[in-house]
Each structure stands twice: as C-alpha cells, then as structure tokens.
Amino acid sequence: MEMVELGRTGLTVSRLGLGLASLGGMFAAVPEQQAIATIDRAWELGIRLFDTAPVYGYGLSERRAGLALRGRPRSAFILCTKVGRLIEPGGPDIQPIWAEPPRGVGPRLDYSYAAVMRSFEESLARMGIDRIDVLHIHDPELDFTKASTSALKALTELRGRGTIGAVSLGVNHADVAARFLRSVGPATLDCILLAGRYTLLDQSAGDDLLPLCRDLGVVVLAAGVFQGGVLADSSKGAPHGYGVVPPALATRIEGLRGICRRYAVPPLAAAAQFPLAHPVVPAVVVGARTPAEIAEVAAMLDQEIPGEFWWALEREGLITARAEIG
C-alpha cells in the first residue's frame, strides 16, 4: 500500500487507515478474536495507520488496539487516539451506541489540562504501547473554550517534549474545525481527523476548511467516507444512522448510483477514492468489523476509475471540487 507524508509532522502514513470504533462495539458487539483478526488483516494489507479513542467502547477499542499492535515494530505504524473524555467509575456522559462497554465505568467530558494529561497516560496504559503518534482533541465543540486553551496547551507541551508527533482535532463538523484553526493561529495544529464532511455526499469542508488548511499547512484525514453505508444501502432501517433518508439526499444517492452504473464504478470505490484527490488529504480512515470488510475496502483503492466518471459527477452537480480531482 502506498505510504505518504503526514504534512509537516515527519510521520509517514498509509493512504488507508483503520478506524477502531467498530471494533470497540459501535452499534453491535464484535468478539475480541474477530477484532484482533481484523487488525491483523489490515496489517497484512499494508495498512499502517490506526485510529482509536478512549470513548470507543469505554476503553475497549484501545485495549484491543494494544493487543493487536504492541508486538509490532513500533516505528512501522502510526497510532492515533483522542483526549476530551476520561473513562472512570460512574462517568456520566454515557453514549448508547456502544454494545458491550465494561460495567461500572463511563466517560466524563473534561478538557482541562490535568484531565488531558491523565487521559493520555491512561490511553498508553490501556494499550500497553509507549508512544502515541497523533493525539486528537475529540469533539472540541462540546467545550470549545477549554478545548482551544487548556487541552491545546497540554498537547502542545507533549509535542514539544517529543512525546507525541502531531497535535490534531477529531471532529464531525467542518465549521468547528475552521473556527478552531482561526482561533488558535498558524503552526498550532498539524492535522485534523474530519468525519463525514468531505465525501461524495457531503463536501461542505471544501468551501472553507480545506482551503484554510492548505493555506496553513494543515492536513486532513478524511473519515466517514461511506456516510455510515447509506450510499450502498439507503433503505429504511439499514444501519446508516437515518430512520428515513431525507428526500434530497435520496435523490443525490440515486444520481450517484446512476453514474456509477454507467461507468461500471462501484459506489464505495468512488467514495473511498474521492477525498484522496484533494492535496490536503493524505489518507482516508475507514471502519471495519471483520477481516473481509477491511480487505474489501483496501481493494477499492486499487479500483480503476476513469476520469470521465469524475467529469460526469461534476456535470450533474454531484461534486463541486472538480479542480481537485486528478
């Protein structure tokens, strides 16, 4: 698998990363051996970028990441996790999406300097790995003031000591990331993990955030590129986060599927490849629950897609960033 530089960080990542939320039991339980086998298969495929978080299964995802990765050569992979929530007994900020969280513990939102430093140390302990390469401030909009001051101070100190390689955000909203960048000034953030906002179905990050990142030398890891799978299956009750897909989105999906049929391009292959054409996006991060799923996604990056396909999407108004498509 192709390896690329992660902006100015000095780190090198694979073009495809594995997000470990699903392996922490997001929406459905995943047996531990299956989770480890999925990470092992990703490694066999050349994936060297792994992203987790304390809140993913309330520590379960991080623990499984450690079980699968800590025997590997440490310089051979990039490990990312997040700060902003502590996992502790009676933690009140419960999220119902986790199918198998450990009993008696929960997340507590806390972006203070002390909490961030504690979260970092606890992540290292859960994983049994001595270094985290990219540390994201998770969902900074939940306490923007502390996230952009106290939490950022902690991460900047860790980077300055060489304890982490890059300071980042983990966000679902392009406007939040742009606001954060403008409020903290240049050369503060190295990268942003952005979920669901630079995809075939939602290109809102292309209006403001991506040009801003290009100006400031910040790179973006594009996550959520399949929008929960709605591009593949938009039926009611499918596991894509919509009870009923909004009519405007359904129309867009049908338009995309029609062009995909015309050019014999699998929709999910187009979804995986689209963000990578932008100069500030070095990699996409996808989730998987099984070894077969991550193998299928990896194959999508090798799918040949004709240039005429992208032009057709632009003509139909389905993508607006034609200048960024090779």
Q: Is 56 a catalytic residue?
A: yes
Query: What is the DSSP annotation of 58-103?
Result: TTHHHHHHHHHHTTS-GGG-EEEEEESEEEEET-S---TTBSSPPT
> What SS3 state is found at 33?
helix
* Residue whose structure tokens are 């890059």: 166
Structure tokens at 21: 């939320």
Please tell me which residue in 56, 58, 111, 198 is annotated as part of the active site. Answer: 56
Helix (H) or strand (E) segment spanning residue 121 = helix 113-127
Rounded CA separation 77/252 (Å): 37
Please tell me which residue in 51, 110, 139, 190 is annotated as part of the active site. Answer: 51
Burial class (CB in 10 A: 0-12, 13-18, 19+), 188: middle
Rounded CA separation 315/182 (Å): 33
Under 8 Å between Cβ of 13 and 50:
no
> What SS3 state is found at 223?
strand
Rounded CA separation 94/108 (Å): 8
Please tell me which residue in 82, 110, 139, 198 is annotated as part of the active site. Answer: 82
- What is the phi/psi pair of residue 195, to 5°? -100, 125
Rounded CA separation 156/200 (Å): 34
Rounded CA separation 95/111 (Å): 18
Q: How many whole angstroms from its chain centre is CA 190? A: 15
Helical spans, DSSP H, in 104-246: 113-127, 144-146, 152-161, 174-184, 209-216
What amino acid positions are annotated as catalytic residues?
Answer: 51, 56, 82
